[in-house]
Amino acid sequence: MSKSMVLTLVSVFVLAGLGACGIQKETENGAFQAWVADPHHRVYYGSFGRDLQAREIRTEAARNEQVMVQLAVKSSLRMQGLSVKVTDLEGGGDRIAGESIRVRYPDFLPVDENGQWTPDPLRPASRFDLEINQAQPIWLDFRVPLDIGAGLYEGSLMVTRGGDLLAEFHLVVEVLDFTLPPIHEDHFYFNILMDLGSIARQHKVERWSEEHWELIEKYVENWAQHSQDAVTVFLVEDPWEGDTGFPVAGVVIWKLPGSWDALGDPRFELDYSHFDRFVQMCLDAGIDKNIQCWSPVMMPHRDYSVITYEDMESGEVRKLRIEAGSSEYERVRSQFAKSFEDHLRRKGWLELTTVGLDEISTENLDKIVPVFRRIAPDLQLMVSGGDEDGKYSDLSSEMAFYYGYIDSDVPFPDISKRRSEGKRTLLYTAVRPLYPNTFLFSEPLESRMLPWLVWKYDFDGYIRWAWNFWVDGFWEQPLHKWRSGDMFFVYPGEDGPLDSIRTEMFLKGAQDYECLWLIREKLERLREEGRSDEVKKIEVQVTKAIELATQQVDPVQPYRPRVSDLAEARRILNRILVD
């Protein structure tokens, strides 16, 4: 068979494959397709549009809500220089400016668990290219203005190449007559860890330089925009002892006037300058519900601490390992606890601060907690996972309950009692369960679903690691020890953070949670007015919405192969709020 015949047959099969789904446009650009894609699901290279004639996108949102839309395009030929143009959305004498609508293009990473190049980081670009028969998702989002009137707003999304219009979509947004609060004033509590050292490493700047601090500020602002409520810091260098693939940065500098072994009465000098600057930066950005500090022992499951300190006599950096329960541990941690408590009191941050213990067993907590309670009784502790006996749940001002423990023999915390005492109880996911979660192979709807689960089980918020724990080479291999994407939600861009599909869908879930809160307030008003029939009707509808949003993953009920419908669940909430 000749080479030209082979190429002809290949072209026939490619076009036939596209034709099976319908061809949008047969031009000199080849068989070009464009379709509306559900943002709850990823568009992979091999994805296709089932309804290529659909050209209208309808959505609804409250004032001050983030609206998210996804398109996808594909061609049988390589195409360069495509772009997306957005008109103003107009209606009722008002408008949503087209320039306020961000257009970003999900980039792809190779993910082992699903064996696919998987879209996640959202890159801004003025134009993009299409490879042969590879779908490219297009992510559009905008925030509904606070001062806009309720009603329908309409405009166009156009995919163009040069002067040619390849596809046009009619976008209709119904602005509903209620308003969501600013994200830092909402009721959903979110706590996820940030590593400042990874920012310096990936952006190739010196740690703690002014360039580093300028980048940190951008990451903090992005963190706050995604509902982060806790300032998270690490009190020692490398608290996971390299398990993360790199040393996580400590923000407290430990110093001794010599080596520990050579000093008769070693007393640490503790430099809090990096801690102070970072905490204040976060507070200024609206991240102000908690200052969470990790950890009195190495993490997780450990029963010892490793202090990295500067020997001021020799200038060397040394390490000191101290076993929990030993006299050395008590001596070092007593010095720290007293110094840290005093420092926080001077700064006015003591009541905001908790010292976190990550997945530490009850047996090991018995060796750690008494030291802090005795030396620094006003310094609050937080237990995240571990504590299988539930011994320290009452002590912990903020505790995390692992999602996998629901419907298990592990005692469920008395959340109402803790809440009445001013204590938070958070839902926690880690490398398990596989579903729902926020891995790169997780469907985006799972990120949106997590705040619904927080509401369903009456937790006060959600905790997870980690926001930006990037190992070197993660773009080529995002799987390190645990699961792909387990260690990061955002990505390092050219001059700051890149959002991801997961961060944006999680934000959508936080907005859904706020709608549930607004309905709770509405129900309270109706009860006060004695309108019990209306209360019952609304409660039935809310229960239906929660079931629709979470029906795939409820561990209490038997598995039922029904896909969660978060869009319909949210529409139910919207109808309650506007009626």
Domain boundaries, the chain: 15-179, 189-249+271-304+326-498, 522-578
Query: Percent of the chain, pLDDT > 70?
Result: 93
So what's the pLDDT on residue 557? 55
pTM confidence score: 0.92
So what's the pLDDT on residue 26? 57
Query: In this predicted model, which residue has the larger pLDDT, 36 or 394?
Result: 36
| Residues 247-267 as b or e (16 or more Cβ within 10 Å = b) | bbbbbbbbebeeebeeeeebe
CATH code, residues 189-249+271-304+326-498: 3.20.20
Instruction: Tell me: pLDDT of 8 over 80.
Output: no
So what's the pLDDT on residue 48? 94
So what's the pLDDT on residue 513? 98
Identity at 504, one-letter amino acid code: E
Task: Give, as one character, the DSSP assignment of residue 500.
Answer: B
Instruction: Tell me: pLDDT of 5 over 70.
Output: no
Instruction: Tell me: pLDDT of 64 over 60.
Output: yes
**Per-residue confidence at 223, pLDDT binned at 50, 70, 90?**
very high
Sign of the dihedral through C-alpha 307, 266, 383, 193: negative
- The mean of the pLDDT values for the chain is 91
Q: What is the distance between the alpha carbons of residues 183 and 226, in angstroms, rounded to a whole number?
A: 7
So what's the pLDDT on residue 556? 52
**Per-residue confidence at 21, pLDDT binned at 50, 70, 90?**
very low
Q: What is the distance between the alpha carbons of residues 389 and 260, in angstroms, rounded to a whole number?
A: 36
Instruction: Tell me: pLDDT of 309 over 60.
Output: yes
Task: Give, as one character, the DSSP assignment of residue 404.
Answer: G
Q: What is the distance between the alpha carbons of residues 387 and 301, in angstroms, rounded to a whole number?
A: 10
So what's the pLDDT on residue 318? 97
CB-CB contact of 484 with 469 (8 Å)? no
> Residues 159-213: pLDDT tens digits?
999 989 999 999 999 999 999 999 989 999 999 999 999 999 999 999 999 999 9
* Domain boundaries 15-179, CATH class: mainly beta
